[in-house]
A and B are shown apart, each in its own frame.
Chain A
Amino acid sequence: MEQRRADFENFVAQNTDALVRTAYLIVWDLPEAEDLVQEALLKVARRWHRVRRMEHPVAYARRILVNLALGGAERRSRRRQELTGEALADRHDQRTESNPVETQDELMRALAALPPRQRTVLVLRYFLDLPEAEVAAAMKCSLGTVKSTASRGLARLEQTMRTTNDTRSIPT
């Protein structure tokens, strides 16, 4: 029993950082991300006697986290678009010229506005660098769905960036 608990504590110590940052990118809100990670780890703890025997316990934790995050994602997305969109719009109004920071701000805003599933795929692929098969496992969907969702997400980001650049280049 003591060894099992020690294993779990070691698991938490090793993986909390990545889980919190991943959750933060998916839900775009720190308190929400903290709660999701706490809830996910509580669930892992309850099943640790089985999870610890898995080849990749963190993949299991990630799957729970993604499931929890997407479970309430739609309403959060609406709220986030209202809040973050306004905040970033204010910053945008104050800018006068294009620079790399500006581009990243636009990208951040575009990311925040993505549908939750598209952003989740992109976070798992481009932040965690997971292979598509592992993304599919984390999201409990097919490989084809991952490919198409990622493709749509990137296209949407690209479109947003292109529109922004076009707008920016219009002489005043």
Chain B
Amino acid sequence: MTEQLQTELRAALRERAAQVPAASIARLAHLDYHPRTRRLRPPVAIGALAGAAGTAGAVAVVISLSAGASNAFAGWSPTPTRPGPDQLAAASADCQTQSPISGLPLKLADTRGPFTFSVYADANSSATCIKGPTFTAVSNNTTSAPITVPAGHILLSSSHASNRGGAAYSWADGRTGDGVSAVTLNLDDGDTVQATVANGWFVAWWPGAHDVKSAAITTAAGTTTQTFDLGHQSPCGPMPCAGGEGGRSSSVANGVGGGGPVSASGSSSIIGPATGSASGHSSASGAGSGSSQGGAQSYGISR
């Protein structure tokens, strides 16, 4: 029986594996997995900007991006910028027509150059929308029960995506506990990105696919640096994460926390001017550089 079973098992596995569409494999094979290597900072530029204090980092990054492999995110800065005239209105008009967002109240909008990253959320659902000069991308998450984050901490959801033009970008968003007034993310390549914080939420995004390693979280008591283990299955860890844990998932996360079972699910899509194809829970449509290639998502709570 075992030999026969092994034979049948091989056949069953082959049959199941054959269900993977060729388009899925081709899509993954043609993604750019080198969206951004370590940022190049020409010595002349650093020297010239060294005295520019607060703006030095931002300018250096803009230089590095334009000199790097992709200029898809030209104008991005590691600190939020003041929105241009009509920038927020244009983003809102675009984003709110998308079904994941429809009906959700706006929690905050993060602007970096020509890009607007908005977070819409209610107690159990959230959706993000990034609008740039050439594309608009939407993703959403739902949880089965509201999650309460401990004071002075953040619940972080980190995602990666890349566009058809070969440029990857990542973002982190999530809820803030009481008292959190500022969040600065430290990426695993040593760079930092300052988040926008408002209404119990924060968001930040950056070109490339580097992960969040830690965050500097500011409260009235000062600033503490808190680390994340984004692969952790129980992101609430020892923290009293009321309402349950977030889990770690690209599409579905669930777990059982102190407040009972909580599940979360999400999807993402990008909206462009033309029709396109969809694959799995990530859908893509559009033309040129305005097309999502899906992504990966992680959750973690600061420890």
Q: Does A59 contact B (CB under 8 A)?
A: no
> Which listed residue, A34, A72, A79, A123, touches B28 by the CB 8 Å rule?
A34
Of the candidate stretches B2-10, B195-203, B212-220, the one touching chain A is B2-10
**B21: nearest residue on chain A (CB-CB)?**
A30
> Which listed residue, B24, B249, B296, touches A20 by the CB 8 Å rule?
B24
Q: A75-B252, A127-B14 are in contact. Are A16 and B8 (CB under 8 A)?
A: no
* Contact between A71 and B28, CB atoms less than 8 A apart: no
Q: Does B175 contact A (CB under 8 A)?
A: no
Q: Mark B151-174, 1 if CB is under 8 A from A, else 0.
A: 000000000100000001000000
User: Smallest Cβ distance from B115 to chain A, in angstroms?
Assistant: 22
* Contact between A103 and B8, CB atoms less than 8 A apart: yes
Q: Does B274 contact A (CB under 8 A)?
A: no
Task: Enumerate chain A residues within 8 angstroms of B10, measured Cβ to Cβ.
Answer: 126-127
> Which listed residue, A20, A35, A78, touches B25 by the CB 8 Å rule?
A20
Task: Enumerate chain B residues within 8 angstroms of A8, measured Cβ to Cβ.
Answer: 33-34
Q: Does A135 contact B (CB under 8 A)?
A: no
Tell me if A's interface is mostly helix, strand, loop or mixed. Answer: helix
- In the bound complex, CA of A69 to CA of B239 (Å): 25
How many residues of chain B get a CB closer than 8 Å to chain A's CBs? 48
- In the bound complex, CA of A80 to CA of B54 (Å): 50
**A74: nearest residue on chain B (CB-CB)?**
B233
Q: Mark A128-172, 1 if CB is under 8 A from B, else 0.
A: 000000000000000000000000001001100110000000000
* Contact between B24 and A30, CB atoms less than 8 A apart: yes
Q: Interface residues of A toward B: which range?
A: 35 or more
User: Smallest Cβ distance from B160 to chain A, in angstroms?
Assistant: 7
Task: Enumerate chain A residues within 8 angstroms of B27, measured Cβ to Cβ.
Answer: 34
User: Smallest Cβ distance from A11 to chain B, in angstroms?
Assistant: 10
Interface hits, B265-288 → A, CB 8 Å: 279-282
User: Smallest Cβ distance from B70 to chain A, in angstroms?
Assistant: 13
Task: Enumerate chain B residues within 8 angstroms of A126, measured Cβ to Cβ.
Answer: 6, 9-10, 13
User: Smallest Cβ distance from B13 to chain A, in angstroms?
Assistant: 4
User: Smallest Cβ distance from B171 to chain A, in angstroms?
Assistant: 15
**B265: nearest residue on chain A (CB-CB)?**
A79
Q: A39-B160, A45-B33, A158-B5 are in contact. Are A17 and B13 (CB under 8 A)?
A: no
Task: Enumerate chain A residues within 8 angstroms of B279, measured Cβ to Cβ.
Answer: 31, 34
- In the bound complex, CA of A142 to CA of B83 (Å): 56
Known contacts A21-B17, A45-B33; 13 additional CB pairs below 8 A are A16-B28, A20-B28, A25-B17, A31-B280, A32-B249, A41-B31, A42-B160, A72-B249, A76-B252, A78-B254, A122-B13, A154-B5, A162-B1
Q: Which 3 A-B pairs have the closest CB atoms?
A: A31-B280, A35-B250, A45-B33
Write the residues of chain B forming the contact surface with A, with a CB cutoff of 8 angstroms: 1-2, 5-6, 8-17, 19-21, 24-25, 27-29, 31, 33-34, 160, 168, 209, 231, 233, 247-255, 279-282, 293-297
